[in-house]
């Protein structure tokens, strides 16, 4: 289900009643046979390790770990520890845009200085990880309301536009994300208003300008760059004769297996 560093595995040797580490594998012992018992055991271990600064502190939001999206969870784990165990996680990203004769204009959020990841960077109008117990549609509606004050009727008009996947090594461990992308055409007089403190403001820019910001600078949250590139390809802003067109298309979904990523890293 996941991938962990050897240095993290060394910590887990302290709990032989919970974890079995042998032959390069980490297993939970058979007496932890339900989602509830696994969730409780992993939480207790990670809370102790967080007190020792061996893992990040809890963020108070649970993500599900399952063989595939929609399957019954094997356990639920605080989102701060997803990368520590190298579990796959999911999120939704919504491109809010206005149609104009000159092309689409994108609403972009400016992230709060208090954000743990990429504070004060540019963001999609709506984006968020998938919490335990939520469907993608439920999460889209929740995030749209909290982050941009979008009512249910408008949010349900969001068009599913595929997904973006990536694997990256981070300080905590291995980040394996699948972002489900949605396009939402909003009225010309619509203006997003943040309700949960994620964004301090919003700006509206031509999508071509947003693509230029991706190409020439470092103003976006790290994974929002990918969503902007994907939007630009699908809406014909980034043309097929661009010298990196094929590379960018492949790069939006670069790995199907972690093994491929690890081979390339080595």
> From CA 259, how far away is CA 96, in angstroms rounded?
35
Query: Which of residues 68, 85, 102 is at a domain's end?
Result: 85
- The pLDDT tens digits for 204-223 are 999 999 999 999 999 999 99
* CATH number of the domain residue 43 falls in: 3.30.750.160
1 located within any domain: no
55 located within any domain: yes
Averaged pLDDT, 6-11: 95
Class of residue 72 by CB neighbours under 10 A (exposed 0-12, middle 13-18, buried 19+): exposed
- The pLDDT tens digits for 236-250 are 999 999 999 999 999
pLDDT value of position 1: 93
Total domains in the fold of the chain: 2
Whether residue 106 contacts residue 207, with contact meaning beta carbons closer than 8 Å, is answered with: yes
- Specify the DSSP element, H or E, that contains 65: strand 62-65
pLDDT value of position 23: 86
Whether the pLDDT of residue 254 is over 90: the answer is: no
Q: Are residues 71 and 100 in the same domain?
A: no
Enclosing domain of residue 68: 6-85
224 located within any domain: yes
- The pLDDT tens digits for 93-147 are 999 999 999 999 999 999 999 999 999 999 999 999 999 999 999 999 999 999 9
Instruction: Report pTM.
Output: 0.92
Class of residue 53 by CB neighbours under 10 A (exposed 0-12, middle 13-18, buried 19+): exposed
Furthest-apart CA pair in the chain: how many Å? 65
Q: Are residues 42 and 131 in the same domain?
A: no
204 located within any domain: yes
Query: Which of residues 85, 106, 128 is at a domain's end?
Result: 85
Q: Who has greater pLDDT, 202 or 255?
A: 202
Q: Are residues 144 and 198 in the same domain?
A: yes
Query: Which of residues 85, 109, 139 is at a domain's end?
Result: 85
The backbone torsions φ and ψ at residue 89, rounded to the nearest 5 degrees and listed phi first, read -130, 165
Q: Are residues 17 and 94 in the same domain?
A: no
């Amino acid at each position: 289900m996941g991938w962990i560093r050897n240095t993290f595995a060394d910590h887990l040797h302290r709990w032989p009643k919970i974890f079995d580490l042998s032959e390069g594998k980490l297993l939970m012992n058979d007496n932890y046979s339900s989602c509830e018992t696994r969730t409780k055991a992993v939480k207790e271990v990670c809370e102790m390790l967080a007190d020792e600064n061996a893992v990040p502190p809890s963020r108070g939001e649970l993500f599900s770990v399952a063989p595939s999206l929609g399957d019954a969870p094997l356990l639920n784990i605080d989102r701060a520890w997803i990368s520590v165990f190298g579990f796959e996680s999911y999120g939704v990203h919504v491109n809010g845009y206005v149609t104009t004769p000159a092309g689409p204009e994108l609403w972009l959020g400016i992230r709060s200085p208090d954000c743990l990841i990429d504070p004060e960077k540019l963001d999609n109008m709506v984006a968020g990880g998938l919490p335990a117990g939520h469907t993608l549609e439920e999460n889209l509606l929740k995030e749209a309301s909290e982050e941009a004050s979008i009512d249910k009727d408008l949010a349900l008009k969001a068009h599913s536009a595929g997904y973006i996947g990536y694997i990256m090594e981070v300080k905590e461990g291995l980040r394996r994300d699948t972002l489900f992308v949605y396009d939402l055409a909003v009225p010309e007089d619509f203006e997003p208003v943040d309700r949960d403190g994620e964004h301090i403001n919003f700006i509206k820019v031509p999508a071509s300008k947003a693509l230029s910001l991706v190409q020439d600078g470092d103003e976006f949250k790290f994974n929002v760059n990918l969503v902007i590139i994907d939007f630009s390809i699908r809406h014909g802003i980034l043309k097929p004769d661009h010298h990196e067109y094929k590379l960018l298309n492949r790069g939006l979904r670069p790995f199907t297996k972690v093994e491929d990523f690890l081979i390339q890293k080595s």
